[in-house]
Amino acid sequence: MQRRELGAGGPQVPVVGMGTWQTLDVPEGRDDVVTAALDAGSTFVDSSPMYGEAERVLGDALGDRRDEALVATKVWTPDDAEAERQVQRALGWYGGRVDLYQVHNLVGWRKRLTLLERERDRGTVVAIGATHYSPSAFGELAEVMRTGRISAIQIPYNPHERDVEREILPLAEELGLGVVVMRPLGGGRLVARAPDAADLEPLRAFGVETWAQALLKWVLSDPRCHVAIPATSRPGRMRENAAAGAPPWFDDDARALVARLAGARL
Ligand SMILES: NC(=O)c1ccc[n+]([C@@H]2O[C@H](COP(=O)([O-])OP(=O)(O)OC[C@H]3O[C@@H](n4cnc5c(N)ncnc54)[C@H](OP(=O)(O)O)[C@@H]3O)[C@@H](O)[C@H]2O)c1
């Protein structure tokens, strides 16, 4: 598993981490997937109070392996008192420390950044970030990036969602910000139907065995991206995804091939 610096001076993160939207929103827990992620080196895990039970389930599953992980979560509310509660709950679940605390969907971002800065001063939050899934919010995201108050962003990037190439990725590079990539598999839509094995043949030289790995390598072959966070409910798929986190990375031709194959998937 390759590791990259999450922004200038930021922590070293494994290039394949794990998301938790839907997959960890399960009352009975999902220790097997979290254990598979940690064992495979996908130790960067992302959650949010927006994901139902996921934050709690993740904390439970990490258990006494909490210190092996870099935990990213989010604050997501327009209400100040609820924001405080979300942060205190998360700190309770994650052993008193969140490694990357993000403002989810930029909700109330000025006040939320002040709250997270206070926690950072207390030593309970290591790095602060902001996330948005929609290109319609990328103008505001760029404004937040330029404040100098965050060190990482989380954005969608896959062969079907390339809007970040216009302004967000160049700006992140210019400002030295870390980039966490959500929806690397297109929310599951891109992997629902894999290309034929023959179509993937030219990618085998890059260590690709499956279509999901091809999509992850497509993201990670852009050096401006530091960690992709595919979500899965299946331990075997977690191991498969983690295996995409090692070089060699795609050249321009291989990247173009994956984009062409992805274009035929919808
Ligand atoms: N901040 C935001 O606004 C925001 C928005 C969206 C997402 N996110 C974050 O980004 C993470 C990832 O995004 P996402 O969950 O929307 O989508 P994703 O990771 O692109 O795709 C997840 C889907 O792909 C399937 N999958 C995973 N690995 C696979 C494999 N190797 N082969 C075949 N199918 C596979 C999963 O199904 P199975 O469970 O059946 O494997 C799941 O349905 C989220 O979990 C969340 O942490 C943030």
Mean pLDDT computed over 207-226: 98
- For ligand 1, mutation pick of 232, 238, 240 (most atoms within 8 Å of CB): 232
**102 pocket-lining for ligand 1 (C-beta < 6 Å):** no
- For ligand 1, mutation pick of 18, 163, 185 (most atoms within 8 Å of CB): 185
pLDDT in tens, 96-155: 999 999 999 999 999 999 999 999 999 999 999 999 999 999 999 999 999 999 999 999
Residues 6+ apart with CB under 8 A from 158: 183, 184, 185, 186, 190, 215, 218, 219, 262
Q: Is the model's pLDDT at 213 over the cut of 90?
A: yes
pLDDT in tens, 13-35: 999 999 999 999 998 888 999 99
pLDDT at site 193? 87
**Measured between alpha carbons, how far is 166 from 162 in angstroms, rounded to an integer?**
8
- For ligand 1, mutation pick of 30, 45, 237, 240 (most atoms within 8 Å of CB): 237
Mean pLDDT computed over 75-80: 97
Query: How many CB atoms neighbour CB 63 within 10 A?
Result: 11
**Cα Rg of the chain (Å, integer):** 18
**19 pocket-lining for ligand 1 (C-beta < 6 Å):** yes
CA 81 to centroid of ligand 1, rounded, Å: 30
Tokens of 199: 């179509």
The pTM assigned to this predicted structure is 0.97
